[in-house]
A and B are shown apart, each in its own frame.
Chain A
């Protein structure tokens, strides 16, 4: 398991390659990447706050739960905090398994859980002002399928 919470950006290709390269006997690697969107136009920044200490333990717990539910050989969760601008990478997950179904499902599980169970909060800073992003009911509902 590789859990990282950091301010600096990351190289998606390099991370995916390094993750794939350290697997043995895994036939599948799935990656997901989240990117800052500027849906309305006018986004100056996305500020991400987190709870140091709890963030790392919550992400570790979510990754361990994924490893209990699916046959995955490894998982990576990398999530940024601080001030980001449109089109910057926010986070990524990667999972490795012998067959692709486990890696796909575990990656979706990681995403669903870290959206509403890892202590991150997003604030959008736009030309019109700033506001905290509200949690969406769909994100909470998504947990019920697991």
Chain B
């Protein structure tokens, strides 16, 4: 699965995308796996209330099941307009 990062999440992690092999059942499980990778991931995912998530390009939430998701993206609240 592709894991994408935007805005300060991308900056904190240091790159825009990871390709991950995971059996995580939910977004939250995936976050736990990412946190365990390195300090910069732990820092980026320190406060989930500051983050939003999209699963296959649809806004979702941290308890959502991943199923056969191909792309998960993490980013701060959006500031368009």
Question: Chain A residues in contact with chain B, CB under 8 A?
Answer: 34, 49, 51, 53-54, 57-58, 79, 90-91, 111, 114-123, 132-135, 140
**18 pairs from A and B in contact (CB 8 Å cutoff):** A51-B54, A51-B57, A54-B73, A58-B59, A90-B81, A91-B81, A115-B78, A116-B77, A116-B79, A117-B78, A119-B73, A119-B75, A120-B78, A121-B6, A132-B8, A134-B77, A135-B78, A135-B79
Contacts of B64 in A (CB 8 A): none
Contacts of A54 in B (CB 8 A): 54, 57-58, 73
* Contact A51:B73 (CB < 8 A) given known A119-B54, A132-B7: yes
Contacts of B57 in A (CB 8 A): 51, 53-54, 57
Bound together, the chains give a CA A140 to CA B81 distance in angstroms of 13
Contacts of B8 in A (CB 8 A): 132
Q: In the bound complex, do residue A118 and residue B80 qualify as a contact, i.e. CB atoms below 8 Å apart?
A: yes
Residue of B7, B76, B79 with highest tally of chain A CB at under 10 A = B79
Q: In the bound complex, do residue B76 and residue A135 qualify as a contact, i.e. CB atoms below 8 Å apart?
A: yes
**Distance (Å) between the CB of B19 and the closest chain A CB?**
17
Contacts of B78 in A (CB 8 A): 115-121, 135
Q: Which residue of A lies closest to B10 (CB)?
A: A49
**Distance (Å) between the CB of B40 and the closest chain A CB?**
17
Bound together, the chains give a CA A121 to CA B11 distance in angstroms of 13
Interface size on B, residues (CB 8 A): 16
Contact of B81 among A53, A57, A115, A119 (CB under 8 A): A115
Contacts of B54 in A (CB 8 A): 51, 54, 119
Q: In the bound complex, do residue A121 and residue B81 qualify as a contact, i.e. CB atoms below 8 Å apart?
A: no
Q: Which residue of B lies closest to A48 (CB)?
A: B80
Bound together, the chains give a CA A123 to CA B75 distance in angstroms of 13
**Distance (Å) between the CB of B54 and the closest chain A CB?**
6
List residues 33-81 of chain B with CB under 8 A from any CB of chain A. Answer: 54, 57-59, 73, 75-81
Q: In the bound complex, do residue B81 and residue A123 qualify as a contact, i.e. CB atoms below 8 Å apart?
A: no
Contacts of A51 in B (CB 8 A): 4, 6, 54, 57, 73, 75
Bound together, the chains give a CA A132 to CA B8 distance in angstroms of 7
